[in-house]
Every structure is written in structure tokens, then in C-alpha cells.
Structure 1
Amino acid sequence: MTAQENVEILRESIELHNDPETRDQYLDDYSEDLVLHGANAESYEELAAFYETVWEAIPDLKVTLESVIAEDDEVAVRYSWEGTHAVTGEEVSLESGLTWYRFEDGKIVERWVASGTGGAIRDVIEP
């Protein structure tokens, strides 16, 4: 796969994430043998559970890709997100998150999340 094809896979994955009707397909582009770094999750299953918690807390969550850089099998993304907290009704947001992905055969096989991002997300979802 080319770097641009990997970017398109990631963009389509984010579109699935942003639509409550298709969220259950968000992790379809991830390998079940996914290796995670800095994500406050140790496995694909823990990552899936994390997103379920996030979507329950912020049902209208929307991720915006602010900047994407790709080379070979790696894609780096700077993103923001916003939504409404289900319990408090408050608007919540994350101004800048950073995640780096590595692809093999059209699947995300490794993912690095910038230090502190997982904690910042947990701070937002827990009222």
C-alpha cells in the first residue's frame, strides 16, 4: 500500500468514528494483533472498550484531522475533537491530540499516542 492509500484508510476510519450509525466499524481497519504505545490500553480489546466508554460519555463526538503527514507505512495525525457530555450537557473538547500509526497490508498494526492524551480524554469523559 502507498502512503496515500494508508491516509485514505485512516480518513475513512475517522468518518466511521464520527457517525454514531457506523461507529461499531471504526476499529475494522485495525489489526486484532495491534501493538499500542501510550494509549492507556494494552490490547485491541481494551482499545475497543475505551472507545465504547468515550462514545457513551460523548455520543456526538466528532474528530477533526487538523494535519496529516505520511511516509511509506506510517501516518502521523494531529487532531482535535469536540462534543457534548451526556451526563453534564456541557460542550467538551480536546484542542490537540497526536497519534502515529503504522500500517501493514491496509491494516493499522501499531499505534503511538502522545503522552498525556489518554489522560486528557479520561479527564473530559469523567464528570
Structure 2
Amino acid sequence: MENIFVFLFNSIIVSTIICAAAGLSNSVSLKIQRYFCFYCDHNLAWFDIIPVISACVLRNKCRYCHAHFGHYYAIFELSYILIGTLLWATPVTWITGVLLLFLSLEDCSKQSIHANILFPWIGYLLILHHDAHIYV
């Protein structure tokens, strides 16, 4: 039962990260209320954004304007859902993977990243794994 929860949770997180990275690369505010098609600006229904399943059913196209989104959305979703489920046992590794997934998607889109989101996480990791006996 826990594995099903983890799988579903990872699918929601990955779908949200993909949409956030796509929004940032297209200069869209993250404060929008609904997901929409970047080609026709049509608001997407709830059944249009089900992770992996919607991509397969719609064949990676918008239901309304039939613009092709590309296969990498479904590939990234499925890959990280599986990887995230495996990394779930160690939360530090899972969070690092989520951050790196976001940065890699952003890099694919616009060849630049918001690397400053890593600085607090790297600081936390340095504090968490600090070994005082090294400096003695």
C-alpha cells in the first residue's frame, strides 16, 4: 500500500515540476490558477493533466489545438516516477533528485538554470554531514 502511495505522490510531484519548469522557460508566472496549453492558451481540464496516462491517451498533443508537446514529458514523468519511488527510502537523496530534475528540465528548455535554489540545499547538506573530527 505504501508503494502505491509513493508512486502516486511521485507522479504528482514530477508533473508539477515539469509544468513549473515549462512555465518558467516560457516566462509564465507560477501564480497561475490553472494549467493551460502554451500554444492555444486553452485551460486544461483535470483529465488532461493526469501524469503519464494523459500523455499516452492524447499522444503528447493538446486536446484542443492538437499541438505536439513532444515525447520528453512522458519520458521524464515515467522515468522519475520510477527513480523517485526507488529513492524514497532516503529523503535527502529524493529531494536532491527532485531539485536536479527541475534544473535539468529548465536547462533543456532555455539552456540556463536557477542554480540559486541549490545553495540553501547544499548548505543544509554541509551542516547535516559535517564531521567535526576532521578539523581536530
Q: Normalising to structure 1: TM-score of the pair?
A: 0.31
Q: Which has the higher strand share?
A: 1
TM-score, normalization by structure 2: 0.30
Larger helix share, 1 or 2: 2
- Structure with max Cα Rg: 2
